Structure 1
Amino acid sequence: MYRRRDTERARLVAEIAGDLRRYSSDAQHIGHAFAALHGLNATDLQALIAVMDAELAGDPITAGRLGTQLGLSSGSVTALVDRLERAGHLRRDRATADRRKVLLRYADRGAALATAFFGPLGTRTDAVVAGFTDDELQVVHRFLRTMAESTREYRDEVRAARTEPSRDPS
């Protein structure tokens, strides 16, 4: 009996892993389509997502934090933010508590472009979510949050390994 249960669990875990890969790939294709439509590169898109996520969390991001999150140098972040600001996707705002601190926020033009492009996907997402109970959504949320945390940890390990000098004696 346990063996059958283990086999069913292994099958389910494999199916979930496949679903996550397909979802990730499809979401990436949609993001790349948006980026191509608006002359953005992959890093630009990652930066816009980071700015949006920070704003939605009520903790607007600084250029320094953005650079850390994306693994970019200070000069690269400045060029990135300048480019996105010129294109109308971002704006720089001074923090009210500390005027020396500059916060990155979505600009109205950038928000309008994103809303127009991603709105139909949002409608589809709302329809999918409506098919789940609150209890089911709590489980899904916990699963996705911990998967995202695990993925970020591995991303950071990979990033750190790329920047460390090689220890290969040959």
Structure 2
Amino acid sequence: MSDQEDEGTGGQGPEMEIVHLLRAVVVDLGRHSARFAQRNGMHPTDVRALIALMDASRAGEETTAGRLGAALGLNSAGTTALVDRLERAGHVRRVRGERDRRKVTIELEERAVALGWSHFGPLIDRAVGLLQGYDERELAAIKGFLTGMREAAAQEGD
């Protein structure tokens, strides 16, 4: 963001300082994720896919290739190539539905979870430790802000 852009949003108040900090965190987290991808011979989209699969699993949701592709903004061919790559690497498996054998879901292998935890675990532990220093009201404010930012970013893609 340039100084000119700051002027359009009211200058350098505490709000803009927070926006700049958030941008810096996003950049730093992107570099952290890129290091993980590089060290493990993965494409950055592979990492995003594994995160999407972990999030879906944590929410108790099944993920089909179509749903994964939509979440990542990939077409059908790109999604197939991605799932093939992750399956060859031993990170995911395709599982046919028990009732409807035509339905295929993508599931994480434990190996992928362990690999991710070995790299991102210390950062997650640090984040949890920082958050434990806040009271309930502050945590609600942080959660509200981050939720609002996710919604704003999602709207920008529409």
Q: 1-side partners of 2:37 and 2:68: how far apart?
A: 19
Q: 2-side partners of 1:96 and 1:15: how far apart?
A: 52
Taking structure 1 as reference, are residues 94 and 133 closer, same or farther at Cα in structure 2, changes over 3 Å only? Answer: farther
1:40 corresponds in structure 2 to: 42
SS in 1 for 2:74: coil
1:31 corresponds in structure 2 to: 33
CA positional deviation for 1:87: 0.5
SS in 2 for 1:61: coil
**Which structure's CA Rg is the greater one?**
1
TM-score with structure 2 length normalisation? 0.87
Q: 2-side partners of 1:93 and 1:106: how far apart?
A: 10
Alignment gaps of 5+ in structure 2: 1-9
1:135 corresponds in structure 2 to: 137
1:91 aligns with 2:98: no
Q: 1-side partners of 2:68 and 2:93: how far apart?
A: 14
1:119 corresponds in structure 2 to: 121
CA positional deviation for 1:142: 1.3
CA positional deviation for 1:103: 1.7
Taking structure 1 as reference, are residues 37 and 136 closer, same or farther at Cα in structure 2, changes over 3 Å only? Answer: same
CA positional deviation for 1:11: 0.7
1:60 corresponds in structure 2 to: 62
SS in 2 for 1:100: coil
SS in 1 for 2:13: helix
**Superimposed CA distance per residue, residues 50-76 of structure 1 (whole angstroms, 9 cap, x where no aligned partner):** 111111111122110111122211111
1:77 corresponds in structure 2 to: 79
Identity over the aligned pairs, expressed in percent? 43
TM-score with structure 1 length normalisation? 0.81
Q: 1-side partners of 2:57 and 2:79: how far apart?
A: 18
Q: 2-side partners of 1:149 and 1:121: how far apart?
A: 24
The runs of at least 4 aligned residues of structure 1 exceeding 6 Å deviation read none
Q: 2-side partners of 1:34 and 1:80: how far apart?
A: 17
CA positional deviation for 1:21: 0.4
CA positional deviation for 1:28: 0.3
Aligned residues: 149
**Which amino acid is 2:23 matched to?**
R
**Superimposed CA distance per residue, residues 64-99 of structure 1 (whole angstroms, 9 cap, x where no aligned partner):** 011112221111111100100110111222344544
SS in 2 for 1:105: strand
2:51 corresponds in structure 1 to: 49
